[in-house]
Amino acid sequence: MSTDQNILVKLNDAGLQLNNKWLVKGVSLQVEKGKIVTLIGPNGSGKSTTAKIALGIYKKIDGSVEKYTNKVGYVPQKISIDWTLPLRVSDFMVLTENLNNEIIDEALSLTGVIHLKDKNLGDLSGGEFQRVLLARAISKKPDLLVLDEPVQGVDFTGEIALYELIKKISDELDCGILLISHDLHTVMSATDHVVCLNGHVCCSGSPLDVAKNNEYKALFGEQASQILSRYEHKHDHIHTDEGEIKKN
């Protein structure tokens, strides 16, 4: 398979600076059809920012983004919805694209929230709302899915089912997925490519490559490393407040 034609979005040395502080810097990655790329990293490492750069939400960025599709489904990490709007789940489903009832029902059934279809969006619990968000993103059968911690607040069994669903969607729709997740077990079992961020790309590669990487363990600590890697290593650099990287 030639990779060039399958690329959906590509970041070239992309970064974002806000008030003279780098939120994330020098990120290069690409998402291809049918592949799941996962971003991992500690809080504040620029995962969500990287996802938003890929989506084209930020206009003034460093480097460049090449986006080859407009059929995008997005599940943001945080979403603030103004409740002055009377908005039912069914209204929310057609927010960015008109879909027929069958497609809406199918998507809501897949994420297990079909019974909430006529409910007011503001009356849902956190986990229910998360399932609706995911249903909305997949219902439009996008080429590119960007999922920023899509199962936050979802109960344990639901979490596993939803990750399985995400994997299945990636296969069936042949869409590319950019996933941000804290669940390292899932990340390592379902992902094609892992990018480990900490204000910059610490390491990237297949899940096994990353697990073996020195910086991965330094970031995630002993326990996380034991999940996948027995290699021991040392963090070779520190981060200053300005986002610069200094070698030890």
Token pair recorded at residue 117: 């279809």
Closest distance of CB 95 from another protein, Å: 5
* Distance of alpha carbon 161 from alpha carbon 124, whole angstroms: 20
Go through the chain and tell me how many residues it has.
248
Judged by beta carbon, residue 95 or residue 227, the one nearer another protein is 95
Q: Which residues bind another protein (CB under 8 A)?
A: 52, 55-57, 70-74, 76, 79-88, 91-92, 95-97, 120, 122-123, 140, 146
Closest distance of CB 144 from another protein, Å: 10
CA angle, corner 78, sides to 76 and 80, nearest 5?
A: 110
Judged by beta carbon, residue 74 or residue 220, the one nearer another protein is 74
Q: Are 116 and 124 in contact (CB under 8 A)?
A: yes
Q: For the chain, what percentages of helix, strand and coil (3-state, to nearest 5) are there?
A: 35, 25, 35
Judged by beta carbon, residue 52 or residue 217, the one nearer another protein is 52
Closest distance of CB 64 from another protein, Å: 18
Residues 6+ away with beta carbon under 8 Å from 241 = 21
Judged by beta carbon, residue 87 or residue 224, the one nearer another protein is 87
Closest distance of CB 32 from another protein, Å: 19
